[in-house]
């Protein structure tokens, strides 16, 4: 172990609190003593917000090792646990929690020794640490003692970033056809000659080749729906023909995912396609929405004083990362997910462009912009790894001159949900105040740059009188939108302006009509039979929005005229800026038009294609938004028209595409295939796993539905029986929190750490990383963990669901249930969720485990969600614990429930 740093260190968990003295020796202490010592002397900590939570103390300050690691090794990831950090820096991993505090000292010593040797991330460290010292960063003095002053002044951060160059527009792809045999040959090359032959994978590659054939008719893409079971090697199965077509045709293939985890997996698979890193970087590009990337102009503001306190420390650490990042992605990229969570609400989101305030070519960092670089790189790439939302939003907002023509939708079972969100309309207080800010900019004193519409566009808009007049009219009309403090005014019965009066009427109607629910949920009611006051308020708000819509549309037309006139100052950079402004106005104008259409129908006949309702959004009983919601009854209609029909070839694939034992009609309905003139091709390959001898489903019959103590006890005993390695899935956050509070200390004393989404101040991705890293840990979570966790091996050997995941009885669900066959619709939803949850359990050959449902109310008709042959037993809790503890899923005593003839399960 490295020499310990002569500073005290503190480790706190649910099992206890230990302090390692500055001169050696470790002792266990109580909470009061620990808090007192932290207040007197800075201690080395690991994840200060988490330590504060464990101590029951809001804000804990100290020397956080994670911050030091982020400074020394920007753009590197380490699992944020004592064991993970020890492995990352080459220190012996401690064997028990009583050794953790001393290990923190050793890890700190090893990190502080890095500047004495070869240090790839040395450049910029001196300047950044000097600034951090002025900001009062605890590590700055210790780091400064070990930093050598550079021989010459360090380059500024922004001058160290690479620039991108404009290039000629890529020609259209050539018309080529690839055969199934060619695709299989490419697959053999990717997997390696000595690799085990997987027939399902080869069959998939051959079937996908047909997607890339020339299409026969306009708006009739070559569409393949492929249900490929877990373990057949689906990713390489479609990458083989996709990469082959891209090479031969000279065109891009967009590979779209739903989760960031699969994006990272696809990016990693790029090494098989292109061994050379530079070629791989050129030919495979990851694309995300603008809000995911670091905005260099926002960072410059933060570094120059717009941020203060802890937020300024975060800005410096992000500045260190910006110089070494692969692509500037702050969400799911190489910025450790745990870094922003160390600063809680201290500015991470302010470093991205979340409000559409980009000035494009007007930005001094435009040529270094991560967003623009990714967008331009994708134009020349063979494979563009994106996500469902980005593909749909780009198509809906017409941001691309040439939308994707060949698309692979992996995790295709999420297409319905992604389309549902993309094509939704929400006229709410939060949305309208965001529009006001986008147009008017900050209305209070701000140390940062003003980014209102006038600040961004006055110079180009004033090219003629019409543009300047439209801009002034838009700013004036925006004053009718809600402003800061709108929620308080509405709660007090004193709304200001026509839109706030509408929201006040919405709130009153909801409270008058909505059924009382758990305080943790919001309230809602159908937009049906509105009273006269609501109709009148809607008319007033409609007039205000139309008054804003007209000048924004006029401004867009004037900017288009600028492009047509092409004045002398309109070089490539200025053109890009004007085009970006037009795109932003088109996007906002589309939202305004949708709001106006929604308001115009209030009091009239309902549109059968849409579901409209009124909502008051709350969290733990506190209101945070009010508004009118509109969703498509079938969101695959706009999906098919906007995204699928213009494409030439589309693959939609998933391990649960049919939703857990359903027929192909279910897959066609949820992917938009029904709304295309040409029928979809189908492909099916079952998982190669031996489910009957590797997994077992246990339905516990003696836990009361609302017996929280019994539920918590069941979770604790099952986790103890499994020795950790448990994923606990909940349908309600409040029950998750209650169970965690009852069992976390008990399990920790047994050496079984318990992590929890919505409880631990750690992002979900990092929670999964910690869970994967420690086979004795367990993780509690909700829907995000049911659908997006890939934890193969011993780290996940038990999945426990607290009840059958029936859909919540919302207005939207009620409408779709009525249209989709009543209880049969509910069954399809539940079976899809069960199939996804079961798919967490067996991820690789050799995986084994149990799937437990703590509810006797699990109808036998839902059991088709599980793979054919999986033993399903109804047992008591004691029997379930015994079976989990035995670790065997071979035939044992007990009554097996009958299994249907054909069942498919798993996950993508």
Are both 515 and 570 inside the same structural domain?
yes
Which DSSP category does 302 fall into?
I
Q: Sorting pLDDT into bands at 50, 70 and 90, what band is 579?
A: confident
Buried b / exposed e along 3-24 (16+ C-beta atoms within 10 A):
ebbebbbbbbbbbbbbbbeeee
Structure tokens at 695: 């997994």
The last residue of a domain, from among 154, 189, 204 = 154
pTM listed for this prediction: 0.91
Mean pLDDT for all residues in the chain: 89
Mean pLDDT of 3-13: 85
In this structure, of 193-197, 470-474, 713-717, the range with the lowest mean pLDDT score is 193-197
Q: Which domain holds residue 118?
A: 9-154
d(CA 129, CA 570): 42
Asked whether the predicted pLDDT for residue 364 surpasses 80, the reply is yes
Which among 195, 305, 281, 277 has a CA at the least distance from the CA of 240? 195
* Number of Cβ atoms within 10 Å of the Cβ of 191: 19
> How much is the pLDDT for 461?
67
Helix (H, G, I), strand (E, B) or coil at 202: helix
Instruction: Write out pLDDT tens, residues 505-523.
Output: 999 999 999 876 544 578 9
d(CA 195, CA 550): 63
Are both 773 and 816 inside the same structural domain?
yes
Residue 891 placed within a domain: no
Helix (H, G, I), strand (E, B) or coil at 391: helix
Mean pLDDT of 171-183: 94
Percent of the chain with pLDDT over 90: 69
Are both 418 and 456 inside the same structural domain?
no
Number of domains in the chain: 5
- HEC string of 506-559 equals HHHHHHHHCCCCCCCCCEEEECCCCCHHHHHHHHHHHHHHHHHHHHHHHHHHHH
d(CA 535, CA 614): 13
| Residue 268: Cβ-neighbour burial (10 angstroms; 0-12, 13-18, 19+) | exposed
Q: Sorting pLDDT into bands at 50, 70 and 90, what band is 417?
A: very high
In this structure, of 239-248, 529-538, 566-575, 773-782, the range with the lowest mean pLDDT score is 566-575
Q: Are strands 849-853 and 649-654 parallel, antiparallel or unpaired?
A: unpaired
Asked whether the predicted pLDDT for residue 444 surpasses 50, the reply is yes
d(CA 552, CA 439): 10
Are both 392 and 265 inside the same structural domain?
yes
Are both 430 and 567 inside the same structural domain?
yes
The last residue of a domain, from among 366, 383, 404 = 366
Helix (H, G, I), strand (E, B) or coil at 321: helix
Are both 719 and 857 inside the same structural domain?
yes
Chain-centre distance for alpha carbon 695: 29
Are both 188 and 304 inside the same structural domain?
no
Residue 662 placed within a domain: yes
E strands in 127-233: 222-228
d(CA 716, CA 714): 5
Percent of the chain with pLDDT over 70: 93
> How much is the pLDDT for 520?
55
> How much is the pLDDT for 448?
47
Structure tokens at 878: 């004691």
Residue 173 placed within a domain: no
Q: What is the dihedral of CA 112, 116, 122, 125, to 10 degrees?
A: 50
Which residues have a Cβ under 8 Å from the Cβ of 168 and sit 6 or more positions away? none
Which DSSP category does 769 fall into?
H
d(CA 284, CA 383): 5
The last residue of a domain, from among 612, 632, 652 = 632
Instruction: Write out pLDDT tens, residues 248-277.
Output: 999 999 999 998 888 888 988 889 999 999
Are both 332 and 472 inside the same structural domain?
no
| Cβ proximity of 899 and 874 under 8 Å | no
Which DSSP category does 153 fall into?
P
Q: Which residues pair with 224 in a beta bridge?
A: 651, 681
Q: Are strands 253-257 and 523-526 parallel, antiparallel or unpaired?
A: unpaired
Helix (H, G, I), strand (E, B) or coil at 355: coil
* Number of Cβ atoms within 10 Å of the Cβ of 47: 24
Which among 434, 450, 437, 294 has a CA at the least distance from the CA of 362? 450
| Cβ proximity of 481 and 432 under 8 Å | yes
186: domain CATH number?
A: 3.40.50.300
> How much is the pLDDT for 792?
83
Q: Sorting pLDDT into bands at 50, 70 and 90, what band is 890?
A: very low
d(CA 489, CA 484): 10
Residue 899 placed within a domain: no
Q: Sorting pLDDT into bands at 50, 70 and 90, what band is 785?
A: confident
Which among 91, 92, 66, 62 has a CA at the least distance from the CA of 79? 66
Chain-centre distance for alpha carbon 6: 41
Mean pLDDT of 625-640: 97
Asked whether the predicted pLDDT for residue 896 surpasses 50, the reply is no
Asked whether the predicted pLDDT for residue 604 surpasses 70, the reply is yes
Structure tokens at 385: 């790894």
> How much is the pLDDT for 464?
66
Buried b / exposed e along 801-810 (16+ C-beta atoms within 10 A):
bbbbbebeeb
Asked whether the predicted pLDDT for residue 577 surpasses 80, the reply is no
Give me the phi and psi of 94, to 5 degrees please.
-65, 155
> How much is the pLDDT for 361?
76
> How much is the pLDDT for 193?
65
Which residues have a Cβ under 8 Å from the Cβ of 554 and sit 6 or more positions away? 466, 470, 473
Are both 567 and 419 inside the same structural domain?
no
Asked whether the predicted pLDDT for residue 449 surpasses 80, the reply is no
Asked whether the predicted pLDDT for residue 905 surpasses 70, the reply is no
Token look-up 């030439």 returns: 648
Are both 453 and 498 inside the same structural domain?
yes
Instruction: Write out pLDDT tens, residues 55-109.
Output: 988 778 899 999 999 999 999 999 999 999 999 999 999 988 999 999 999 999 9
Q: Which residues pair with 383 in a beta bridge?
A: 253, 284
d(CA 661, CA 902): 7
Q: Are strands 9-13 and 16-20 parallel, antiparallel or unpaired?
A: antiparallel
d(CA 439, CA 453): 5
> How much is the pLDDT for 346?
59
Asked whether the predicted pLDDT for residue 746 surpasses 50, the reply is yes
Structure tokens at 453: 């519409």
Q: Sorting pLDDT into bands at 50, 70 and 90, what band is 348?
A: confident
d(CA 709, CA 156): 58
| Cβ proximity of 330 and 351 under 8 Å | yes
Q: How far is CA 342 from CA 64, 67, 80, 146, 346, in A?
A: 9, 8, 11, 25, 9
Q: How far is CA 408 from CA 12, 131, 392, in A?
A: 46, 46, 13
Higher-confidence residue of 583 and 107: namely 107
Q: Sorting pLDDT into bands at 50, 70 and 90, what band is 445?
A: low
Residue 167: HSE in the Cβ half-sphere, 13 Å Cα cutoff: 14
Which among 571, 170, 570 has a CA at the least distance from the CA of 375? 170
d(CA 701, CA 855): 6
Phi-psi group of 485: left, alpha or beta (phi > 0 → left; psi -120 to 50 → alpha; rest → beta): left
Instruction: Write out pLDDT tens, residues 14-49.
Output: 999 999 999 889 999 999 999 999 989 999 999 999
Q: Where are the alpha helices (DSSP H) in 799-876?
A: 811-819, 823-838
How many Å from the N-terminal Cα to the C-terminal Cα in the chain?
Answer: 41
Q: Sorting pLDDT into bands at 50, 70 and 90, what band is 892?
A: very low
- Give the DSSP H/E element, type plus range, for residue 249: helix 234-249
| Cβ proximity of 826 and 875 under 8 Å | no
Are both 584 and 541 inside the same structural domain?
yes
DSSP for 582-631 reads: HHHHHHHHHHHHHHHHHHHTTTSPPPTTEEEEEEEEEETTEEEEEEEEEE
Residue 171 placed within a domain: no
> How much is the pLDDT for 353?
85
Count of residues in the chain? 908
* Number of Cβ atoms within 10 Å of the Cβ of 510: 18
* Number of Cβ atoms within 10 Å of the Cβ of 163: 10
Mean pLDDT of 841-870: 92
Q: What is the dihedral of CA 290, 295, 301, 304, to 10 degrees?
A: 160
Q: Sorting pLDDT into bands at 50, 70 and 90, what band is 784?
A: confident
Token look-up 């009583």 returns: 98
Which among 385, 384, 313 has a CA at the least distance from the CA of 344? 313
Mean pLDDT of 133-138: 95
Which residues have a Cβ under 8 Å from the Cβ of 36 and sit 6 or more positions away? none
Which among 225, 227, 223, 207 has a CA at the least distance from the CA of 215? 223
In this structure, of 195-209, 731-745, 863-877, the range with the lowest mean pLDDT score is 195-209
Q: Are strands 695-700 and 681-685 parallel, antiparallel or unpaired?
A: unpaired
Are both 131 and 26 inside the same structural domain?
yes
d(CA 722, CA 557): 65
| Cβ proximity of 177 and 214 under 8 Å | yes
> How much is the pLDDT for 349?
84
Residue 166 placed within a domain: no
> How much is the pLDDT for 899?
42
Residue 897 placed within a domain: no
Residue 168 placed within a domain: no
Q: Sorting pLDDT into bands at 50, 70 and 90, what band is 904?
A: very low
In this structure, of 361-370, 449-458, 527-536, 677-686, the range with the lowest mean pLDDT score is 449-458
């Amino acid at each position: 172990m490295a020499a310990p740093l002569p500073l005290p260190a503190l480790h706190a968990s649910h099992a206890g609190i230990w302090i390692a003295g500055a001169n050696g020796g470790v002792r266990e202490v109580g909470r009061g003593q620990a808090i007192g010592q932290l207040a007197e002397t800075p201690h080395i900590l690991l994840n200060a917000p988490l330590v504060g939570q464990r101590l029951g103390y809001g804000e804990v300050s100290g020397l956080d090792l994670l911050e030091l690691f982020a400074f020394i090794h920007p753009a590197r990831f380490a699992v944020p646990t004592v064991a993970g950090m020890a492995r990352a820096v080459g220190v012996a991993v401690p064997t028990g929690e009583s050794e953790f505090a001393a290990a923190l000292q050793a890890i700190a010593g090893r990190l502080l020794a890095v500047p004495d040797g070869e240090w790839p991330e040395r450049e910029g460290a001196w300047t950044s640490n000097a600034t951090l010292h002025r900001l009062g960063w605890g590590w700055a003095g210790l780091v400064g003692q070990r930093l050598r002053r550079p021989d010459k002044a360090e380059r500024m951060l922004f001058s160290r970033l690479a620039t991108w160059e404009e290039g000629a527009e890529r020609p259209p792809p050539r018309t080529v056809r690839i055969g199934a045999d060619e695709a299989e040959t490419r697959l053999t090359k990717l997997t390696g000659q000595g690799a085990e032959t997987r027939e399902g994978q080869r069959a998939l590659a051959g079937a996908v080749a047909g997607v890339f054939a020339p299409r026969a008719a306009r708006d009739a893409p070559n569409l393949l729906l492929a249900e490929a079971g877990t373990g057949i090697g689906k990713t390489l199965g479609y990458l083989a023909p996709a990469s082959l077509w891209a090479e031969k045709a000279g065109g891009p293939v967009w590979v779209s995912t739903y989760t960031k985890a699969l994006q990272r997996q696809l990016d990693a698979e790029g090494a098989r396609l292109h061994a050379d890193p530079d070629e791989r970087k050129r030919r495979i590009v990851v694309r995300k929405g603008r809000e995911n990337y670091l905005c260099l102009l926002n960072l410059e503001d933060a570094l120059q004083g717009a941020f203060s306190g802890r937020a300024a420390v975060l800005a410096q650490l992000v500045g260190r990362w910006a110089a070494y990042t692969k692509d500037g992605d702050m969400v799911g990229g190489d910025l450790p997910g745990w870094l922003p969570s160390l600063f809680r609400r201290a500015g991470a989101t302010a470093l991205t462009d979340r409000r559409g305030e980009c000035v494009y070519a007007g930005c001094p960092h435009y040529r270094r912009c991560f967003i623009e670089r990714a967008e331009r790189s994708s134009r020349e790439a063979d494979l563009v790894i994106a996500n469902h939302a980005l593909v749909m939003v780009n198509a809906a907002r017409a941001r691309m001159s040439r939308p994707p023509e060949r698309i692979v939708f992996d995790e295709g079972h999420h297409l319905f949900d992604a389309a549902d969100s993309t094509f939704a309309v929400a006229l709410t207080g939060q949305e309208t105040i965001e529009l006001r800010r986008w147009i008017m900019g900050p209305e209070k004193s701000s140390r940062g740059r003003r980014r209102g519409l006038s600040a961004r566009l006055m110079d180009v808009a004033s090219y003629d009188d019409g543009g300047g007049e439209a801009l002034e009219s838009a700013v004036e009309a925006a004053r009718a939108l809600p402003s800061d403090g709108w929620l308080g005014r509405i709660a007090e019965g004193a709304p200001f302006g026509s839109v706030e009066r509408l929201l006040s009427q919405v709130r009153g109607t909801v409270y008058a009509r909505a059924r009382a629910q758990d305080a943790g949920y919001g309230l809602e009611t159908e937009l049906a039979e509105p009273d006269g006051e609501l109709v009148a308020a809607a008319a007033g708000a409609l007039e205000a929005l139309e008054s804003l819509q007209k000048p924004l549309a006029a401004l867009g037309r004037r900017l288009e005229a600028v492009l047509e006139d092409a004045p002398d100052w309109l070089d490539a950079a200025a053109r890009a800026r004007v085009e970006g402004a037009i795109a932003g106005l088109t996007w906002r104008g589309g939202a305004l038009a949708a709001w106006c259409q929604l308001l115009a129908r209030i009091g009239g006949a309902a549109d059968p294609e849409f579901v409209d309702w009124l909502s008051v959004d709350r969290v733990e009983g506190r209101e945070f938004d009010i508004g009118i919601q509109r969703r498509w009854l079938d969101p695959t209609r706009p999906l098919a028209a906007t995204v699928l029909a213009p494409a030439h070839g589309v693959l939609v694939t998933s391990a649960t595409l049919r939703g857990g034992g359903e027929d192909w009609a279910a897959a066609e309905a949820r992917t938009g295939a029904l709304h295309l003139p040409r029928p979809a091709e189908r492909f099916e390959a079952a998982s190669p796993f031996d489910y009957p001898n590797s997994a077992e489903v246990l339905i516990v019959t003696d836990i009361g539905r609302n017996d929280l103590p019994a539920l918590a006890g069941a979770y604790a005993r099952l986790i103890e029986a499994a020795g950790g390695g448990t994923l606990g899935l909940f349908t309600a956050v409040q029950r998750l929190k209650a169970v965690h509070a009852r069992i976390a200390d008990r399990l920790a004393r047994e050496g079984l750490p318990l992590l929890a989404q919505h409880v631990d101040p750690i992002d979900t991705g990092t929670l999964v990383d910690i869970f994967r890293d420690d086979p004795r840990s367990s993780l509690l979570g909700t829907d995000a963990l049911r659908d997006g966790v890939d934890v193969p091996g011993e780290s996940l050997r038990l999945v426990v669901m607290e009840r059958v995941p029936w859909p919540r009885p919302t207005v939207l669900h009620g409408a779709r249930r009525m249209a989709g066959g009543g209880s049969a619709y509910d069954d399809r939803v539940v079976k899809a969720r069960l199939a996804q949850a079961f798919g967490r359990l067996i991820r690789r050959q050799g995986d084994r485990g149990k799937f437990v449902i703590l509810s006797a109310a699990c109808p036998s008709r839902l059991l088709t969600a599980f793979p054919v042959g999986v033993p399903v037993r109804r047992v008591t809790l004691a029997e379930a614990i015994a079976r989990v503890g035995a670790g065997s899923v071979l035939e044992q005593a007990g009554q097996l429930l009958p299994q249907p003839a054909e069942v498919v399960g798993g996950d993508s």
